[in-house]
A and B are shown apart, each in its own frame.
Chain A
Amino acid sequence: MSWFSDFLTSSIGRKVVMSLTGLFLILFLLVHLAGNLQLLPFLAHDPAGDPGKAFNLYSKFMTSNPLIKTVSYLLYASILIHAIQGWLLWSKNRKARGNQGYAVKVNKVVGTNSFAASNMGWLGTIIFIFLAIHMYQFWLQMKLGHLPMAYYDGVEVKNLYSIVAEAYESLGYVIFYVVSMVVIAYHLNHGFQSAFQTLGINHHKYTPFIKWVGKAYSILVPLGFAIIPIYMYFFM
């Protein structure tokens, strides 16, 4: 196994780990967004009924389907590996840079967002704090907490919608959530295209397309997430 551990602890190997876990998390965000959008009444296909029905049934499915449960362990592992490896890289890179900084700082880059690219560690740390709060508030309550129950066609389902709706009633929480989405947008803006570059995927035929998709993704997905609490705060 020594060649494998050598590979994983080499500078490029560490980056490949960041890239693969990052791409998996990017894909997960889309699935998560598809679920969250059912919080919006006009997307939930049941405008007359219980506003939480679609979301609660979806949550029930996500926590009971064996395939999704299996993938969820991969997700938890990805989050932890991406975060721990990220902090390791961050601290090693700061050590490599040294204590004495430049008196004049210039941030010229080529084809990426210089703010996002040079602050991935900070952005990632903020996202991790957001995730910790977010998972305590919803994920842990769904798993272990005593949620109120809802009944749909005689089936008892945990009413996750009730605590989501309650959280989104607070303006402070909505602001915290939206700011976190802006942070994720910046992190994705650099991370999306960077993941491909790390895997060696860079070619003048398709790299402009990857960068374009990355930009669109980094704006649209966090925007999709952010619209939900804003809509629920103002209109529900």
Chain B
Amino acid sequence: MKLTLKIWRQKSLKEKGRFETYKVEANPHMSFLEMLDVLNEELIAKKEEPVVFEHDCREGICGTCSMVINGEPHGPMGGTTACQLHMRHFKDGETIVIEPFRASAFPVMKDLAVDRSALDRIIQAGGYISVSTGAAQDANAVPIDKDTAGHSFDAAACIGCGACVAACPNASAMLFVSAKVSHLALLPQGKVEAKRRAQAMVKQMDLEGFGMCSNITACEAECPKGISVENIARLNREYLSSALGSETVA
């Protein structure tokens, strides 16, 4: 299949970027990233700069690939990362527009690669359990009902790719933060620090310059892992109860 690609090229953080148009011939069985590999091979053969894009596992579980394909983070397929998106979902002769994730908190480093370390700093602020949880428990030693475990697991499916931020008209990271807070707050080991965690992670999120949630739900619509905005409501509850109910005053 013959494709026309309009790709955002930007030399560095400081320089202005612009769209460049490329022609590429792809196999419908290729993944989107393999199609970009083909383009890059051709560019290298022509002694041109290859297109920089981030990727790692190419199995849809690491959250490294990050690009906006035809206006949608990770492309038009629901519940799919860019690396798991296959060319058979595009038409022969189609023009595909590829842009980096856009947000003030995600500065473009080069071409399609953006700096998402803001999300790492939010995790560093509280997205962990520091209390001693002992050695590995026997199965069923920690009582937890199935629905709660299920909600926690659904939230834990977040791969931290930042598509929610890229999709949100406000560039809000609330879906990401809410998934991390929900994942831990629902489980007995995570509950211990739930109040402090919600406070610390939201504070860091605000410091990083992410926008505020207007419940537009574009994040859920574009999330490759189908994280629900129900988690945002849970984060709001956690935050409200910790702001009003935690022992620490300041």
Contact = CB atoms under 8 A, between A and B. Distances in A.
Contacts, number: 149
Given A109-B216, A199-B236, A200-B236, A104 B71 contact: yes
Interface in B230-250: 230, 232-237, 239-240, 243-244, 248-250
B216 A103 contact: no
A209 B240 CA distance: 23
Contact of B210 (A96, A103, A114, A201): A96
Contacts of A102: 68, 71, 99, 102
Nearest to B209: A96
Interface stretch (B20-28, B125-133, B135-143, B168-176): B168-176
A105 B6 CA distance: 15
Interface in A3-55: 3, 6-7, 10-16
Interface of A: 2-3, 6-7, 10-16, 89, 92-93, 95-98, 100-112, 114, 117-118, 120, 190, 193-194, 197-204
Contact of A12 (B70, B217, B230, B236): B236
A106 B216 CA distance: 13
A97 B211 contact: yes
B215 A198 contact: yes
Contact of A104 (B97, B105, B244): B97
Contacts of A12: 202, 213, 235-236, 239-240
B71 A106 contact: yes
A89 B215 CA distance: 13
A118 B213 CA distance: 11
A192 to B, nearest CB: 11
Contacts of B70: 104, 106
Given A108-B72, A109-B218, A117-B215, A202 B233 contact: yes
Given A16-B240, A96-B103, A200-B237, A110 B217 contact: yes
B184 to A, nearest CB: 17
B114 to A, nearest CB: 11
Interface string B180-215: 000000000000000000000011011001111111
B169 A93 contact: yes
Contacts of A106: 70-72
Nearest to B249: A3
A108 B209 CA distance: 24
A103 B213 contact: no
B109 interface: no
B52 interface: no
B34 to A, nearest CB: 22
B111 interface: no
A186 to B, nearest CB: 14
Contact of A98 (B104, B172, B232, B248): B104
18 contacts: A3-B248, A3-B250, A10-B239, A11-B212, A11-B213, A14-B212, A16-B236, A96-B172, A96-B209, A97-B102, A98-B102, A98-B103, A101-B102, A102-B68, A104-B99, A110-B221, A118-B214, A201-B233
A93 B243 contact: no
